[in-house]
């Protein structure tokens, strides 16, 4: 699978989740907190790759009305990282505790996309508890529907 396809998949899956949040007429603090975390992690990793200081903390909570714009900014940064760097490029970064690490870009991206999928699954569980039918975000189903 090409890197661009996993970026497109993750973006589409996130957009489908954001659509559910837009439909919600009541607050869902647990789901909103967890999806904010997904967006924050994407932002933090994209900023680390570009050597910039993240604007958000790992557990900052965003209003659901901001999810769409944050996601769009994140994917712009992620795509720029892919276009401007080789996948085997070493990235030196510090975690939220200031400890320095080094990983290749492809390792970081694998983590970022896997992390997003993991937490989207948790958000789906929370949305079901709130009475929502979760959106289809399975890669193979989106691929079969020619959305990827």
Q: For residue range 46-73, what is the model confidence (pLDDT) as tens digits?
A: 999 999 999 999 999 999 999 999 999 9
Kindly list the distances between the CA atom of residue 107 and the CA atoms of 58, 59, 87, 91, in Å, as whole numbers in the listed order. Answer: 19, 22, 8, 10
Task: Name the nearest CA neighbour of 132 among 9, 28, 14.
Answer: 28
* 98 backbone dihedrals φ, ψ, rounded to 5°: 85, 5
Write down the pTM of the prediction. 0.95
* 92 backbone dihedrals φ, ψ, rounded to 5°: -100, 130
Q: For residue range 83-120, what is the model confidence (pLDDT) as tens digits?
A: 999 999 999 999 989 999 999 999 999 999 999 999 99
**The CATH number, out of the four listed (1.20.120.450, 3.10.20.30, 3.30.365.10, 3.40.50.700), of the domain defined by the range 3-144:** 1.20.120.450
What angle, rounded to 10 degrees, do the helices at 105-129 and 67-84 form?
160
């Amino acid at each position: 699978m090409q890197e661009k396809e996993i970026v497109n998949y993750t973006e589409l899956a996130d957009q489908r989740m954001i659509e559910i949040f837009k439909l919600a007429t009541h607050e869902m603090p647990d789901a909103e907190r967890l999806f904010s975390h997904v967006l924050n992690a994407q932002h933090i990793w994209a900023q680390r790759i570009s050597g910039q200081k993240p604007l958000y903390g790992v557990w900052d909570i965003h209003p659901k009305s901001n999810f769409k714009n944050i996601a769009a900014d994140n994917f712009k940064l992620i795509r720029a990282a892919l276009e401007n760097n080789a996948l085997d490029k070493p990235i030196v970064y510090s975690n939220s505790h200031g400890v320095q690490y080094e990983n290749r870009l492809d390792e970081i991206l694998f983590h970022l996309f896997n992390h997003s999928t993991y937490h989207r699954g948790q958000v789906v569980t929370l949305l079901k508890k709130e009475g929502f039918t979760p959106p289809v975000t399975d890669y193979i189903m989106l691929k079969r529907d020619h959305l990827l």
